[in-house]
């Protein structure tokens, strides 16, 4: 990404894999901002919608979410709320994959 201006659109694609042997769920996340891929996380522990938290942390770490609310618990406001409040188009999608190598 060339400049650190307010994003117009954020696209987050997650993949989840359930490891039956130990009963754990893992995910990977790819994030695009204004059409440019800015982040990719491979094989991270977390179930449910944790892939969105991973994306939010990545974007925040890259300085692409200026003004995100931070809570005393250590968390931040959700990505969908951040985008809604700032009129940023947010597209999220997740695929459940059958094999670890598909993450």
What pLDDT, in 10s, does the model give residues 1-58? Answer: 444 677 999 999 999 999 999 999 999 999 999 999 999 998 899 989 999 999 999 9
- pTM for this prediction: 0.88
Q: Is the pLDDT of residue 68 over 60?
A: yes
Q: How far is CA 21 from CA 24, 58, 78, 99, 103, in A?
A: 8, 29, 32, 13, 17
Residue 41 lies in a domain: yes
Residue 1 lies in a domain: no
Query: Could you give the CA distance from residue 99 to residue 12 in angstroms, rounded to a whole number?
Result: 21
Residue 4 lies in a domain: no
SS (H, E, C) the chain: CCCCCCCCEEEEEEEEEEECCCCEEEEEEEEEECCEEEEEEEEEECCCCHHHHHHHHHHHHCCCCCCCCECCCCCECCHHHHHHHCCCEEEEEEEEECCHHHC
Grade residue 77 by pLDDT with cuts at 50, 70 and 90: very high
Residue 54 lies in a domain: yes
> 92: domain range?
10-102
Residue 95 lies in a domain: yes
Q: Is the pLDDT of residue 62 over 60?
A: yes
Residue 78 lies in a domain: yes
How high is the pLDDT of residue 4?
63
How many structural domains comprise the chain? 1
Residue 36 lies in a domain: yes
Residue 20 lies in a domain: yes
């Amino acid at each position: 990404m060339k400049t650190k201006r307010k994003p117009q659109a954020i696209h987050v694609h997650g993949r989840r894999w359930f490891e039956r042997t130990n009963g754990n769920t893992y995910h990977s996340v790819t994030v695009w901002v204004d059409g440019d891929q800015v982040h990719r996380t491979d094989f991270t522990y977390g179930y449910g919608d944790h892939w969105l938290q991973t994306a939010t942390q990545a974007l925040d770490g890259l300085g692409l979410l200026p003004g995100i609310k931070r809570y005393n618990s250590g968390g931040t406001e959700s990505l969908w709320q951040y985008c809604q409040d700032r009129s940023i188009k947010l597209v999220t999608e997740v695929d459940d994959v059958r094999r670890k190598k598909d993450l």
